[in-house]
Structure 1
Amino acid sequence: MKVRSIFRPLRKGFTLIELIIVMAIVSLLLTLAAPRYFRSIERSKETVLKANLASTRDALDKFYSDTGKYPDQITDLVDRKYMRTLPWDPIAESAVSWTTVPPPGGQAGAVYNIFSGAQGAGSNAIPYAEW
């Protein structure tokens, strides 16, 4: 036979103060971790943007060296198999938001260089449109 002690009542749950303390600890940890998480997301988007710009500019150079002119549209790189798909701009979240620059000096073609069409600046304080 079990006898309950009057000094230690049988508990079947958590008290309100225990729950408040746990919630305070969890919220403190979240306030420390969330900014780092979002900063790492932005850095990874910028890294992908740099890589996509580099590969597209490389494809533009190869197109020029093969044909002697720059493409009339960025989609010509995909049509002529210099790229599999149009590059994705992770900042603007689009594949069609690229800003194109015509070639200097009256050379043939219309796409000499591309820049991101996203607004704002990166973590290096340089606007995305100038990368």
Structure 2
Amino acid sequence: MSNKKMSGFTIVELLVVLSVIALLLSIITPRYFGKIKEGQEVVLKQNLATIRHAIDQYYSDQGMYPTNLNSLKEKRYLRDIPEDPIMKNQEWQIIKAPNEVGVYDVKSRSNEISSNNNMYSEW
């Protein structure tokens, strides 16, 4: 062999670096997915509050509940029907007004369990 010194990483050094990276990923990944779920819950709460506020405004102005959610959009109480971030669509569970015709309340159609240990459809 020549007198030149060989440079590079040994297999042991590479394994140590890869194990440190794997350890960091195993710590970070569950927290990342937990934050995504937490963000979806915040958006769901906000979207429910927005729709419920629009229903209340409609009732206050019109003296009756809207026949469907599209009525809120047509009369410009909402620009668009918000999306349910859990179900990834704009379909909501409609709750009819007691002894009246129209949409009294909305809930999520999801049967998943939230971080509060209750179903999203109960919010």
TM range (shorter): over 0.9
Counterpart check, 1:119 vs 2:111: yes
Shift of 1:110: 2.1
**Take 2:71 and 2:86, find their aligned partners in 1: how far apart are those partners?**
23
Q: Cα RMSD between the aligned structures?
A: 1.3
Unaligned runs of 5+ in 2: none
Aligned position for 2:6 = 10
TM-score with structure 2 length normalisation? 0.94
Unaligned runs of 5+ in 1: none
Code of the residue aligned with 1:95 in structure 2: it is: Q
**Take 1:59 and 1:10, find their aligned partners in 2: how far apart are those partners?**
72
Counterpart of 1:61 (choices 56, 59, 68) is 56
**Take 1:113 and 1:27, find their aligned partners in 2: how far apart are those partners?**
47
Shift of 1:10: 2.1
**Take 2:64 and 2:81, find their aligned partners in 1: how far apart are those partners?**
19
Aligned position for 1:74 = 69
TM-score with structure 1 length normalisation? 0.88
Aligned position for 2:15 = 20
